[in-house]
Structure 1
């Protein structure tokens, strides 16, 4: 996107803000963006950037589960024993603005787990435990903490990013608990296709989206193969420009090219970007948040 077109978009946003107009359009492609620290501490500027971006889904990454059930968002304490303990006391109100017109955002998800963490091992131990607060019932620590997390974030779905535990029984019980709390369930796999297929079968209609990692350890994943194995179209993701000198990762142009090819080969309904933090760090004319969303939307519409 040129500097001129960025300016035009900002003018359009200002007009929309004044008139209370929604930026969403019927039939808009499914486009999601994962984000870490900026989604918690970036305040109104980040929320407004997301609202004007063209992304339809904001993925709050990453919720970590301690062995005692406490929740963190990355390194920030978030919820303990059913109480919000985070330092950003205005976070819930900030997140609530994401869906306020004018906006392209119509969905918020909380992503649980990440590579190199033991969150799903903690979940497994808590689900299978026998002490006070164990299990998945209304009195359990998992139930109370994730109930409050939904209230605070307004999350529509919980995204499972299990990259190590792969315990079907506890993941099923955890997913059923979340579904009972009103969350839809989504997956973010990069490997172990048979586990994800079995978990999807166990959770049934509670699972409404699958975000396939096509970067880092998932580089080379074929969306068509995963769609066939899991029985529903997957939404593949790519890593934005990142690293030293922003030399690694995909530009909006290469995102659009890859997504267009997957639309033709696998009928993908959308795509996602990893990671907003890097989009911010590597932002430049033609490489903004909106440019990445537009690349996905143009490819799959």
Structure 2
């Protein structure tokens, strides 16, 4: 990323012994698959206290993606500029884990949390590769202990791979298996280019990869969900950039998001979509709130 989801047959009961016929009228119970919607967010998810958690819980978004975890050469984990895990211990804001736990507390629309690793112009996946080469992935390694501490602190269900530089299949697959062994249930992808890398990761991990968040903005603005679905062998959840920039004139409004997602639902059968970026939605709330964007995606991807 850049700072850049019966018909009941008529039943007729005919009483042969009488002239009276009773019947149950046809009923139609449509099977509805609700849309799903994810939102990436940076600093506000860490710094804005309980208020932002409550906004997310009532927004309609079903997945919250914490962007972004950066891996340093010594294994330290930073959430953007904040050191959060060191030597197998959570050392970040003492109140953050408790706030994150409220995301799934009823009443809420959120049922999934992911931690995203990497970003445009960062060496995080190179650092992961180097640490695996040096230490392996055993439970005593700093990489294992730190990501376990991160999971315990965030309650994350999945790790989201936002590699935009290193693109090494073997180390990515090895890392994902390590993460799964410690309790991250799934590993998700956030591609915008380098399709052969993402194919290699998907093929290497199989069903461990349960979602693909396709960037369809900025460097990925020309991406076609149908093409990526064919390339990866699974449907993708495309993402768009909310209103942003000077005067909030760049990016898509909720109405534009709904229109594009409806078109992709028709052309590619997308099961959901995502928004980039909560930080910009917050700044440009007059152009659309989190709830407005979630409603747009959920409405468009319901089937």
Q: When the two structures are superposed, what TM-score results if normalisation uses the length of structure 1? A: 0.88
Instruction: Write the deviation string for residues 43-92 of structure 1: whole angstroms up to 9, x where unpaired.
Output: 11100000000000000000000001100000011101101111x21100
- The answer for unaligned runs of 5 or more in structure 1 is 1-25
Could you say which residue in structure 1 is the equivalent of 2:281?
279
Could you say which residue in structure 1 is the equivalent of 2:296?
295
**Alignment pair present for 1:207 and 2:213:** no
Could you say which residue in structure 2 is the equivalent of 1:100?
105
Correspondences of 1:165-184 after superposition (within 5 Å) = 165-183=166-184, 184=186
Could you say which residue in structure 1 is the equivalent of 2:144?
143
Q: CA deviation at 1:154?
A: 0.5
Instruction: Write the deviation string for residues 83-122 of structure 1: whole angstroms up to 9, x where unpaired.
Output: 1111x21100000000000000000000000001000010
**Alignment pair present for 1:127 and 2:96:** no
Could you say which residue in structure 1 is the equivalent of 2:25?
none
Could you say which residue in structure 2 is the equivalent of 1:10?
none
- For residue 285 of structure 2, give the secondary structure of its aligned residue in structure 1: coil
Q: CA deviation at 1:168?
A: 1.1
**Alignment pair present for 1:51 and 2:57:** yes
Q: CA deviation at 1:28?
A: 2.7
Q: CA deviation at 1:181?
A: 1.3
- For residue 138 of structure 1, give the secondary structure of its aligned residue in structure 2: coil
Instruction: Write the deviation string for residues 109-162 of structure 1: whole angstroms up to 9, x where unpaired.
Output: 000000010000100101111xxxx21110111100001111110000000001
Instruction: Write the deviation string for residues 5-25 of structure 1: whole angstroms up to 9, x where unpaired.
Output: xxxxxxxxxxxxxxxxxxxxx
Q: When the two structures are superposed, what TM-score results if normalisation uses the length of structure 2? A: 0.88
CA RMSD between the two structures: 0.9
Could you say which residue in structure 2 is the equivalent of 1:235?
237
C-alpha separation in 2, matches of 1:185 and 1:90: 26
Which deviates further from its counterpart, 104-113 or 203-212? 203-212
Higher helix share: 1
- For residue 105 of structure 1, give the secondary structure of its aligned residue in structure 2: coil
Cα pair 2:44 2:279 within 8 Å, conserved = yes
Could you say which residue in structure 2 is the equivalent of 1:247?
249
Cα pair 2:34 2:301 within 8 Å, conserved = no
C-alpha separation in 1, matches of 2:63 and 2:236: 15
